[in-house]
């Protein structure tokens, strides 16, 4: 039996729904949006809308492929089929690398909050405890991962919904002590685009990476009771999630407060909560951000381990990582992700401005690489289907025009990263890492039909590999 078929199928629709939401709402929305607003002013709404549109198109394409063939490897397995084994190998390893690096970032961020609350315990101890906690969660069962993510996401959603409700009421002048701002903060202080259209375009490069993570739902769908329905619901709801949670909440911030306010730059959401006169705004936001951090840690471990597991089942990673525990969890792949995660956390304390910063920069553009591979794979696989495409349960809109529009937009973003000085180094280092991984993949599969290094003998091929022959 194929190893992937032994994974537990215990994720329920409510888990998948919240996993999809949690993938979109990260700590970057609550913390990083302040810098973006300072850069582009109220015009940052245009940047969020443009970046959100690209993500919506990418998710629709991924949803089409995932609904037709839900697999734990998600876009990596689709790249295998569309572009070649080298592509699936390359993007799978790059994606796993991205999430392992994220573990170091998020564990440190969460530890900083815990250290502020309990300064008697060193920050590195908190980072270690958070990593151990989420590792045990992922080793327990996929259902325990789903439950944690469900409640983490529920807290984030509740916080944003309350924020939007209070924000809308304040804008309408319904909150005592808060005068209705009208359009003053949107058109005064230099206008809607105070730093010009160029700043808005540069802002897209800042905010686009906030949306990365929505694709986790298509990976988790392989361990759900009804993967096809789960994927369809998750992808279809991406549109309103982005519109409401991101654009809606940012609109509240720039409408209620001047974009160039120092409090907005520091923490826009705390600034708005303080405007409402709610005591303990900073602590409230710390709780929400810590929840987002734990959610990201939880998802990062899960996603990295599942991608490593998928790579292993295809012969692109150590075969020992295919081992499944009695609870239906790829425990070896989880531990492999955890070990590297602990190393990155350690580097963040030992050499934060040298080694760790270098590693972070090597993952800076991986989101765009993943989206480009998803778009290219969908374009190729859909064309191969021909007339059979009419039977797809979920289809990309206006194919192939919007697919090409997404591809052109992603390439434009990559070009933008070269032009903008603050993102240039990250792109170049990401490209260097990608070039090395792709070179290994191409060399590994340079002869079509030849037995690649480390792959099982033909008689031992998995059903997935046999289907590609």
Give the Cα-Cα-Cα angle 114, 116, 122 (nearest 5 degrees): 70
pTM, entire model: 0.89
Residues 162, 167: Cα–Cα separation, whole Å: 8
**Peptide bond preceding 400: is omega within 30 degrees of 0, i.e. cis?**
yes
CA end-to-end span of the chain, whole Å? Answer: 19
Residue 447: its pLDDT value, please? Answer: 58
CA distances from 382 to 61, 127, 385, 388 (A): 10, 44, 5, 9
Helix, strand, coil tally for the chain in percent (to 5): 75, 0, 25
One digit per residue, the tens of pLDDT, for the chain of length 469 reads 344 446 777 787 777 777 777 766 776 777 778 888 998 999 999 999 999 899 999 999 999 998 888 877 789 999 999 999 999 999 999 999 999 998 888 888 889 899 999 999 998 999 999 999 989 988 988 888 888 888 888 888 888 889 999 999 999 999 888 889 888 999 988 999 999 998 998 888 888 888 888 888 888 877 877 888 878 887 877 777 777 888 899 999 999 999 999 888 888 988 999 988 888 888 888 898 899 888 888 888 989 999 999 999 999 999 999 998 888 899 999 999 999 889 988 998 888 888 888 888 898 899 999 999 999 999 999 999 998 888 898 999 999 999 999 999 999 999 999 998 888 999 999 999 999 999 999 999 885 444 443 444 434 444 344 444 4
CA gyration radius, the chain: 22
User: Distance of CA 8 to CAs 76, 273, 313, Å?
Assistant: 21, 42, 16
> What pLDDT sits at residue 5?
45
**77 pairs with which residues across the strands?**
none
**Chain length of the chain:** 469
Longest dimension (CA), the chain: 75
Report the pLDDT value the prediction gives residue 104, as an integer from 0 to 100.
Answer: 87
If one counts every other C-beta atom within 10 angstroms of the C-beta of residue 144, the result is 17
If you ran DSSP here, which 8-state letter would residue 351 be given? S
Residue 6 has a pLDDT of 66
Q: Note the pLDDT of residue 453.
A: 39
Instruction: Provide the CB-side half-sphere exposure for 298 (13 A, CA).
Output: 27
**In terms of DSSP H, where are the helices of 173-280?**
184-187, 197-207, 216-220, 227-241, 249-256, 262-266, 268-275
- For 215, which DSSP code? T
Q: Given phi > 0 = left and psi -120 to 50 = alpha, else beta, which region is 64?
A: alpha
Backbone angles phi, psi at 61, to 5 degrees: -65, -45
- The pLDDT of residue 23: 66
Q: Which two tokens stand for residue 269?
A: 């959401």
326 DSSP assignment: T
Alpha carbon distances (Å) from 426 to 290, 362, 410, 423, 463: 26, 6, 16, 5, 39
pLDDT at 436: 97
């Amino acid at each position: 039996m194929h190893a992937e078929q032994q994974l537990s199928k215990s994720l329920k629709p409510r888990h998948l729904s919240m996993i999809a939401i949690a993938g979109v709402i990260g700590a970057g929305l609550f913390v990083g949006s302040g810098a973006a607003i300072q850069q582009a002013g109220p015009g940052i709404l245009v940047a969020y809308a443009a970046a959100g549109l690209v993500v919506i198109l990418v998710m629709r394409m991924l949803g089409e492929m995932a609904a037709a063939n839900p697999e734990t490897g998600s876009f990596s397995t689709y790249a295998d089929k569309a572009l070649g084994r080298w592509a699936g190998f390359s993007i799978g390893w790059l994606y796993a690398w991205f999430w392992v690096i994220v573990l170091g970032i998020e564990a440190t961020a969460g530890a900083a909050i815990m250290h502020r609350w309990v300064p008697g315990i060193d920050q590195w101890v908190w980072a270690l405890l958070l990593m151990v906690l989420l590792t045990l969660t992922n080793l327990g069962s996929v259902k325990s991962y789903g439950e944690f993510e469900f409640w983490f996401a529920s807290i984030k959603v509740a916080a944003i919904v309350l924020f939007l409700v209070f924000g809308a009421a304040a804008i309408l002048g319904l909150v005592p002590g808060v005068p209705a701002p009208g359009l003053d903060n949107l058109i005064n202080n230099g206008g809607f685009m105070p730093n010009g259209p160029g700043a808005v375009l540069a802002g897209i490069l800042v905010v686009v990476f906030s949306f990365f993570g929505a694709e986790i739902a298509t990976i988790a769908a392989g361990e759900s009771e009804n993967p096809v329905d789960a994927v369809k619901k998750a992808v279809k709801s991406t549109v309103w999630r982005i519109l409401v949670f991101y654009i809606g909440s940012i609109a509240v911030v720039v409408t209620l407060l001047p974009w160039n306010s120092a409090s907005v730059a520091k923490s826009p959401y705390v600034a708005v909560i303080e405007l409402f006169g709610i005591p303990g705004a900073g602590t409230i936001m710390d709780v929400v951000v810590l929840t987002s951090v734990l959610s990201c840690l939880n998802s990062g471990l899960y996603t990295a381990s599942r991608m490593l597991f998928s790579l292993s089942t295809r012969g692109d990673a150590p075969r020992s990582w295919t081992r499944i525990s009695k609870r239906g969890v790829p425990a070896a792949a989880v531990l492999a992700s955890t070990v590297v995660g602990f190393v990155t956390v350690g580097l963040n304390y030992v050499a934060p401005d040298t080694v760790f910063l270098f590693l972070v920069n090597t993952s800076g553009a991986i989101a765009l690489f993943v989206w480009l591979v998803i778009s290219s794979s969908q374009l190729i696989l859909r064309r191969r289907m021909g007339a059979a495409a009419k039977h797809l349960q979920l289809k990309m809109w206006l194919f192939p025009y919007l697919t090409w529009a997404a591809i052109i937009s992603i390439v434009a973003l990559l070009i933008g990263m070269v032009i903008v000085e603050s993102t240039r180094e990250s792109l170049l280092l990401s490209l260097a890492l990608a070039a090395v991984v792709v070179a290994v993949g191409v060399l590994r599969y340079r002869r079509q039909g030849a037995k690649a290094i480390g792959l099982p003998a033909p008689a031992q091929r998995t059903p997935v590999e046999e289907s590609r022959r």
